[in-house]
Amino acid sequence: MDQVLSFSQQLIQIPSTTDDLSAIEEAVFLVEKQLSTFTIKSFISDRKPSLLIHNAGINTKNFKIIINAHLDVVYGEESQFTPFIKDGKLYGRGAYDMKAAAATIIMVFKKLANHISFPLALQITTDEEIGTLGAKKQVEEGYRGEFILTGECGSNFKITNQAKGVYNIKVTTSGIKSHSAYPWRGDNAIVKLQKALANITDKYPLPKEESYATTVNITMIRTNNKTWNRTPDHAEAYIDVRYMPEDKNILNDLRKLLSPDIKIEAIQKYSYSAINTNPNNPYIKSLQKIGKQILNQEIPFRVAHATSDLVRFAAVGCDGIEFGPIGSNQHGDNEWVNIKSLGEYYQILTQFLLSIK
């Protein structure tokens, strides 16, 4: 655990925000240095590196287990990249999301990978916060796992076997320009967009409290118009849809709410499949049994609102879950992870991997 805690702090000190490529590369180099005796396959997606490190032959693409972690973090104040320990918690940007979990996973892999008989891979990505293109790249190149486990934050020793899918949707309206003093000579694209969005929000009102249901949230509205006294001929809105697995056809449902002249499209780069792994999966059952023995409590399930690299594997039919240690305040101030839970997480992952034949 001294190694886990020390490596967690080293990673937190690196400001590997999604826009700092040099810091991201520094964090990746630290991982490569830790695991230099293993086969390491490197990838590049949109300038961001990712790794697949494994214990099998150099050309192996199919693994029994893939464990995933990401090293990128969201923006933080300079002080947040100086980790500190207080009251049994490790604080710092990325402590919970998810550098401490990553450090734990890396140390477990380092200890066990050469002492187990099945093909095991460790996937390290650096763009989970902005699109999971690293995981997508590896999946597109044919890398697969019978079961994927990511240490993504939010689970707090619960098993995330379901997570909402994501559609990043763009709605575009067109009109006719005119002097705004003579609106009857034009066709106002913003007004058309306003009516279209009203139809959508009437059908899908925003929930007032946490709800494990499909949500449709308008997040940006723009126009190409550059002056206040001209009727705009263009307007667009972006909508963040988080859908339950049973609502995978929601794009078509939204299209039915709009007139035929309004364009609606999903931006594939930022649209992800839902996660829906059977709770009776034998790997899940094994993890629950081991977790109960170590934590002396049941390991329940949860449904996630947000996404992880796991969605790229779900899109090609690979089963998987999110399962990580205890913490809070990801993306916020005073982000922390419970140090005791890191030790328990290490034990659970170790016994889980050793139990697999």
* 159-163 vs 275-276, strand pairing mode: antiparallel
Residues of the chain with pLDDT under 70: none
Q: What are the start-end ranges of the H helices in 247-357?
A: 250-255, 282-295, 310-314, 339-354
Domain termination residue (choose one: 270, 298, 328): 270
What's the confidence (pLDDT) of residue 273? 85
Other CB atoms closer than 10 Å to residue 287's CB: what's the count?
Answer: 22
Based on the fold, state whether residues 190 and 151 are members of the same structural domain: no
Q: What is the identity of the amino acid at 286?
A: S
Residue with tokens 């003579």: 182
The secondary structure of residue 117, as a DSSP letter, is S
What's the confidence (pLDDT) of residue 281? 98
What's the confidence (pLDDT) of residue 204? 96
* 159-163 vs 84-86, strand pairing mode: unpaired
State how many domains the chain has.
2
Task: Return the bridge partners of 69, or none.
Answer: 124
Based on the fold, state whether residues 175 and 196 are members of the same structural domain: yes
What's the confidence (pLDDT) of residue 319? 97
What's the confidence (pLDDT) of residue 1? 86
Based on the fold, state whether residues 156 and 29 are members of the same structural domain: yes
What residue ranges in the chain does DSSP mark as E strands? 39-45, 48-54, 62-70, 84-86, 89-91, 120-125, 144-150, 159-163, 165-174, 178-179, 215-222, 230-231, 234-243, 263-266, 275-276, 301-304, 319-322, 327-328, 336-338
User: 271: closest CA among 294, 251, 292?
Assistant: 251
What's the confidence (pLDDT) of residue 72? 97
Other CB atoms closer than 10 Å to residue 350's CB: what's the count?
Answer: 17
What's the confidence (pLDDT) of residue 37? 94
Label each residue of 188-219 as H, E or C: CHHHHHHHHHHHHHHHCCCCCCCCCCCEEEEE
Domain termination residue (choose one: 238, 270, 302): 270
What's the confidence (pLDDT) of residue 162? 92
User: 335: closest CA among 15, 149, 72, 84?
Assistant: 84
Domain termination residue (choose one: 253, 270, 287): 270
What's the confidence (pLDDT) of residue 305? 87
Based on the fold, state whether residues 120 and 207 are members of the same structural domain: no
Based on the fold, state whether residues 25 and 146 are members of the same structural domain: yes
Which tens digit of pLDDT belongs to each residue from 2-51?
Answer: 999 999 999 999 999 999 999 999 999 999 999 999 999 999 999 999 99
Which residues have a Cβ under 8 Å from the Cβ of 190 and sit 6 or more positions away? 173, 223, 225, 232, 235
Query: What is the model's pTM?
Result: 0.88
Based on the fold, state whether residues 154 and 235 are members of the same structural domain: no
Distance in angstroms (rounded) separating the CA atoms of residues 174 and 70: 40
